[in-house]
Amino acid sequence: NELYDKLIKLGVVNSNVRLGDLTRLLEDINFGATMSYQKGAKGLMKQLSKIKSIGQDLYTAEDDFWKIYSWAIEKSRLTRALEKNGVTRGTKDAWIKNAKGESIEVTEEWLEKEAADIVKNNIPNYDYVPDFIKGLRKLPVGNFVSFPAEIARTGANIVQRALREINTTFTLANGKVIKPFQGIGYTRLFGFTTTVAAIPYATQKMFQVIYDVTDDEREAIRRYVAKWSKNSTTLPMKDENGDFKYIDFSHANAYD
């Protein structure tokens, strides 16, 4: 509980994007109010509200689990990178200067805030969705608009964070200039590039080889897919009769 309270204050947890949209939608329609006017339906709606509450708790818990995990991993990576360059917490070597000449003491609290900043800006977070975007759910453009908006924001942030980590320099007390997070930045950039470009392309080619589908056939399939899959990465397949089918890979990979 103490850790969870700390992570709430840091803005790491309890900020599920899809759940935020769903909660607002239920508030918009005043969940269960219309049916509850009928006495016989009141009991039913009471039970449904309990199910809704349990569902929200489970969905939030799943989202929080991965955010807590990511926060712990990022904090560990930062700590190891600094220690590798001679910066150790709780010692006289814990002081560093940034490019602006500001002195920073590397403490547990500083590492926790840095890791929290990464998670808040690199993983979809409902608290960072502008009110204008949230309000779009009331227009006929789609109900769950916050998630794609966050994918766009976090996608740009991941690249920016990686480039910043690659180029960030600190000066130690002995005057030595270090780039402790350079390796983390290259790893982050490589991982994002792989997720966005390499994996979709490689998976598509693998399906073409398995099912013996040519590039021309794959593009021909695109003419007949559902309109929301027109610009997606499609994984072509053939059934036992030779008829074509496909999987919309972009639906499963939000950053594609």
Rounded to 5 degrees, what are φ and ψ at 221? -60, -35
Between 102 and 255, the higher pLDDT residue: 102
Q: Which of 56-60, 147-151, 189-193 has the lowest mean pLDDT?
A: 56-60
C-alpha 46 chain-centroid distance: 34
Looking at residue 52, the DSSP 8-state letter turns out to be H
Q: Which of 104-108, 153-157, 161-165, 238-242 has the lowest mean pLDDT?
A: 238-242
Say what the pLDDT of residue 36 is: 47
Residue pair 144/21 in contact by the 8 Å Cβ criterion: yes
Exposure on the CB side of residue 213, measured as CA atoms within 13 A: 25
Say what the pLDDT of residue 121 is: 93
Burial 4-14 (b: 16+ CB within 10 A, else e): eeebeebbbbb
pTM of the model: 0.77
Digit-coded pLDDT (tens) for 3-41 = 888 888 898 887 766 666 666 666 666 655 554 445 545
Q: Which of 158, 143, 149, 112 is nearest to 129 (CA)?
A: 149
Digit-coded pLDDT (tens) for 229-255 = 988 999 999 988 889 999 999 988 888
